């Protein structure tokens, strides 16, 4: 398996239902959202709000992470897409990093990108052992945009199959944006 630290992308899972709005308005921090298909757990959202994390757009360091799996298992009837952004966009735009799950038992560390990147325990993350609570927490480290992420900053949107790909392409044309879309079944449970 490739070293996650050396990869070039960041990943954000969302419902296919949100894609039209995202193409038109960008990927917004939760605090700026009004009507959208929420994929996150309500209890976790309350805790994130207490840490003011709803002011950021969260991305993960790899796809098919514990969050993605949890959401897809909980909402097995829904279709999802994974929006990717190059890590150099996060560096250039001065995004923040949380080196482990923000709701881990220890205090939250909201760090500047470079410091946060170095604070992540990449060896543990690369193990991807979701039965180990420490590893699972590190696998849910986040890179956080304090601003709306424009479709112009998207690298590619990954989908589970050709049917979802066609729907995404239609939504993209309606919004007048141009983003690469590709099928990668390995990023999705079904």
Catalytic machinery residues = 48, 142
Query: Which residue reads 């993605």 in tokens?
Result: 68
Asked if residue 48 belongs to a known ligand binding site, the reply is yes
Query: Which residue reads 């070293």 in tokens?
Result: 3
Contact 83, 152 (CB under 8 A): no
Asked if residue 12 belongs to a known ligand binding site, the reply is yes
**Nearest-angstrom CA–CA distance, 13 and 145:** 15
CB under 8 Å to 22, separation ≥6 — which residues?
Answer: 14, 83, 151
Binding residues for NAD(+), by number, are 12-14, 48
Binding residues, by number, are 12-14, 48
């Amino acid at each position: 398996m490739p070293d996650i630290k050396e990869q070039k992308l960041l990943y954000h899972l969302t419902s296919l239902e949100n894609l039209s709005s995202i193409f038109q308005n960008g990927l917004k921090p939760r605090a700026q959202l009004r009507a959208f298909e929420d994929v996150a757990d309500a209890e976790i959202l309350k805790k994130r709000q207490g840490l003011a994390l709803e002011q950021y757009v969260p991305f993960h360091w790899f796809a098919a992470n514990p969050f993605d799996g949890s959401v897809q298992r909980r909402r097995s009837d829904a279709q999802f897409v994974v929006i990717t952004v190059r890590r150099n966009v996060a560096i250039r735009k001065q995004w923040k990093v949380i080196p482990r799950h923000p709701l881990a038992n220890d205090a939250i560390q909201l760090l500047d990108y470079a410091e946060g990147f170095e604070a992540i325990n990449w060896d543990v993350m690369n193990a991807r052992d979701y039965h180990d609570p420490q590893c699972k927490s590190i696998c849910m480290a986040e890179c956080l945009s304090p601003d709306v992420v424009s479709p112009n900053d998207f690298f590619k949107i990954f989908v589970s199959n050709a049917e979802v790909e066609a729907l995404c392409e239609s939504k993209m044309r309606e919004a007048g944006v141009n983003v690469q879309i590709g099928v990668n079944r390995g990023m999705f449970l079904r």
